[in-house]
Protein backbone atom coordinates (compact mmCIF):
# COMPACT_ATOMS: atom_id res chain seq x y z
CA UNK A 1 0.00 0.00 0.00
CA UNK A 2 1.40 3.43 -0.97
CA UNK A 3 1.65 6.36 1.43
CA UNK A 4 -1.24 8.11 -0.35
CA UNK A 5 -3.41 5.01 -0.13
CA UNK A 6 -2.67 4.77 3.59
CA UNK A 7 -3.49 8.45 4.10
CA UNK A 8 -6.72 8.08 2.13
CA UNK A 9 -7.71 5.03 4.14
CA UNK A 10 -6.97 6.89 7.38
CA UNK A 11 -8.97 9.95 6.26
CA UNK A 12 -11.98 7.85 5.28
CA UNK A 13 -11.78 5.99 8.58
CA UNK A 14 -11.80 9.36 10.34
CA UNK A 15 -14.98 10.34 8.45
CA UNK A 16 -16.58 7.12 9.68
CA UNK A 17 -15.35 7.60 13.25
CA UNK A 18 -16.74 11.13 13.40
CA UNK A 19 -20.05 9.81 12.07
CA UNK A 20 -20.10 7.25 14.91
CA UNK A 21 -19.16 9.99 17.38
CA UNK A 22 -22.09 12.09 16.12
CA UNK A 23 -24.51 9.21 16.64
CA UNK A 24 -23.31 8.33 20.15
CA UNK A 25 -23.03 11.96 21.13
CA UNK A 26 -26.59 12.66 20.02
CA UNK A 27 -27.82 9.58 21.86
CA UNK A 28 -26.12 10.63 25.09
CA UNK A 29 -27.31 14.21 24.59
CA UNK A 30 -30.92 13.07 24.44
CA UNK A 31 -30.38 10.67 27.34
CA UNK A 32 -28.84 13.39 29.50
CA UNK A 33 -31.97 15.53 29.00
CA UNK A 34 -34.26 12.80 30.30
CA UNK A 35 -32.17 10.87 32.83
CA UNK A 36 -30.80 12.30 36.05
CA UNK A 37 -27.14 11.36 36.30
CA UNK A 38 -26.26 13.89 38.98
CA UNK A 39 -26.58 11.30 41.74
CA UNK A 40 -23.95 9.09 40.12
CA UNK A 41 -20.25 9.19 40.78
CA UNK A 42 -18.76 11.77 38.45
CA UNK A 43 -15.22 10.71 39.28
CA UNK A 44 -13.68 9.77 35.93
CA UNK A 45 -10.06 8.79 35.42
CA UNK A 46 -8.23 7.98 32.20
CA UNK A 47 -5.24 5.76 33.03
CA UNK A 48 -2.08 5.58 30.95
CA UNK A 49 1.14 3.60 31.04
CA UNK A 50 3.66 4.07 33.85
CA UNK A 51 0.94 4.78 36.41
CA UNK A 52 0.05 8.08 34.79
CA UNK A 53 -3.53 9.26 34.74
CA UNK A 54 -5.74 12.17 33.81
CA UNK A 55 -8.46 13.06 36.29
CA UNK A 56 -11.52 14.65 34.72
CA UNK A 57 -13.10 17.56 36.54
CA UNK A 58 -16.34 16.36 38.17
CA UNK A 59 -17.58 19.96 38.49
CA UNK A 60 -17.44 20.42 34.72
CA UNK A 61 -19.26 17.14 34.17
CA UNK A 62 -21.86 18.20 36.75
CA UNK A 63 -22.29 21.57 35.04
CA UNK A 64 -22.93 19.94 31.66
CA UNK A 65 -25.40 17.48 33.18
CA UNK A 66 -27.29 20.28 34.90
CA UNK A 67 -27.33 22.26 31.64
CA UNK A 68 -28.69 19.24 29.75
CA UNK A 69 -31.49 18.65 32.26
CA UNK A 70 -32.41 22.35 32.20
CA UNK A 71 -32.49 22.48 28.40
CA UNK A 72 -35.86 21.93 26.75
CA UNK A 73 -36.19 18.79 24.67
CA UNK A 74 -36.36 20.77 21.43
CA UNK A 75 -33.46 23.11 22.32
CA UNK A 76 -29.76 22.37 22.01
CA UNK A 77 -27.78 21.78 25.19
CA UNK A 78 -24.15 22.79 25.54
CA UNK A 79 -23.08 19.14 25.22
CA UNK A 80 -25.14 18.71 22.02
CA UNK A 81 -23.53 21.84 20.61
CA UNK A 82 -20.05 20.46 21.33
CA UNK A 83 -20.91 17.09 19.80
CA UNK A 84 -22.44 18.49 16.63
CA UNK A 85 -19.79 21.17 16.15
CA UNK A 86 -16.89 18.76 16.56
CA UNK A 87 -18.47 15.89 14.61
CA UNK A 88 -19.32 18.05 11.60
CA UNK A 89 -15.92 19.73 11.72
CA UNK A 90 -14.25 16.30 11.78
CA UNK A 91 -16.44 14.90 9.00
CA UNK A 92 -15.84 17.92 6.76
CA UNK A 93 -12.10 18.02 7.49
CA UNK A 94 -11.58 14.34 6.74
CA UNK A 95 -13.82 14.49 3.65
CA UNK A 96 -11.87 17.43 2.21
CA UNK A 97 -8.57 15.68 2.89
CA UNK A 98 -9.90 12.49 1.28
CA UNK A 99 -10.94 14.36 -1.84
CA UNK A 100 -7.47 15.86 -2.29
CA UNK A 101 -6.18 12.45 -3.42
CA UNK A 102 -6.67 11.08 -6.91
CA UNK A 103 -8.46 7.93 -5.85
CA UNK A 104 -11.44 5.70 -6.42
CA UNK A 105 -13.20 7.62 -3.62
CA UNK A 106 -12.75 10.93 -5.44
CA UNK A 107 -13.90 9.33 -8.70
CA UNK A 108 -16.96 7.91 -6.93
CA UNK A 109 -17.83 11.33 -5.51
CA UNK A 110 -17.30 13.00 -8.89
CA UNK A 111 -19.62 10.44 -10.51
CA UNK A 112 -22.16 10.84 -7.71
CA UNK A 113 -22.30 14.64 -7.87
CA UNK A 114 -21.58 15.05 -11.58
CA UNK A 115 -21.33 18.70 -12.57
CA UNK A 116 -22.12 19.67 -8.95
CA UNK A 117 -18.92 18.03 -7.63
CA UNK A 118 -16.92 21.28 -7.52
CA UNK A 119 -19.78 23.01 -5.69
CA UNK A 120 -19.93 20.12 -3.20
CA UNK A 121 -16.18 20.32 -2.62
CA UNK A 122 -16.36 24.11 -2.15
CA UNK A 123 -19.21 23.85 0.35
CA UNK A 124 -17.53 21.11 2.41
CA UNK A 125 -14.23 23.05 2.32
CA UNK A 126 -15.99 26.24 3.40
CA UNK A 127 -17.76 24.52 6.30
CA UNK A 128 -14.50 22.88 7.34
CA UNK A 129 -12.65 26.20 7.31
CA UNK A 130 -15.35 28.05 9.24
CA UNK A 131 -15.69 25.34 11.89
CA UNK A 132 -11.91 24.92 12.20
CA UNK A 133 -11.13 28.61 12.61
CA UNK A 134 -14.14 29.82 14.59
CA UNK A 135 -13.23 30.92 18.12
CA UNK A 136 -16.54 32.56 19.06
CA UNK A 137 -19.32 31.07 21.13
CA UNK A 138 -21.48 31.53 18.05
CA UNK A 139 -20.46 30.82 14.49
CA UNK A 140 -19.62 34.18 12.97
CA UNK A 141 -18.61 34.60 9.37
CA UNK A 142 -16.04 37.14 8.28
CA UNK A 143 -14.55 38.12 4.94
CA UNK A 144 -11.58 35.86 5.70
CA UNK A 145 -13.96 32.88 5.80
CA UNK A 146 -14.91 33.50 2.20
CA UNK A 147 -11.46 34.37 0.80
CA UNK A 148 -10.23 30.84 0.07
CA UNK A 149 -13.49 29.74 -1.50
CA UNK A 150 -13.79 32.93 -3.57
CA UNK A 151 -10.23 32.55 -4.87
CA UNK A 152 -10.93 28.95 -5.82
CA UNK A 153 -14.19 29.58 -7.69
CA UNK A 154 -13.03 32.67 -9.62
Q: What is the 3-state secondary structure (H, E, C) of 46-72?
A: EECCCCCEEECCHHHHHHHHHHHHHCC
pLDDT of residue 45: 96
pLDDT of residue 154: 67
Domain tally for the chain?
Answer: 1
| pLDDT of 93 strictly over 80 | yes
What mean pLDDT, rounded, does the chain reach?
90
pLDDT of residue 124: 94
| pLDDT of 137 strictly over 70 | no
In contact, 62 and 42? CB cutoff 8 Å: yes
| % of the chain exceeding 90 in pLDDT | 69
- Report how far residue 1's alpha carbon sits from residue 95's, in angstroms, rounded to the nearest whole number: 20
List, for residues 51-85, the tens digit of each pLDDT value.
Answer: 999 999 999 999 999 999 999 999 999 999 999 99
| pLDDT of 26 strictly over 90 | yes
pTM score, whole prediction: 0.81
| pLDDT of 121 strictly over 80 | yes
Of the candidate ranges 12-16, 54-58, 79-83, 131-135, the one whose mean pLDDT is the lowest: 131-135
In contact, 61 and 115? CB cutoff 8 Å: no
Averaged pLDDT for residues 113-120: 96
Domain residue limits at 117 = 3-153
Amino acid sequence: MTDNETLLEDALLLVEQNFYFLHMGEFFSKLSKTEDFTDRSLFVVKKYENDRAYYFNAEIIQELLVNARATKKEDISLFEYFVEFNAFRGICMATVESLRFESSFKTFMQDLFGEQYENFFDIVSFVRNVLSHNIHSEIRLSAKDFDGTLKRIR
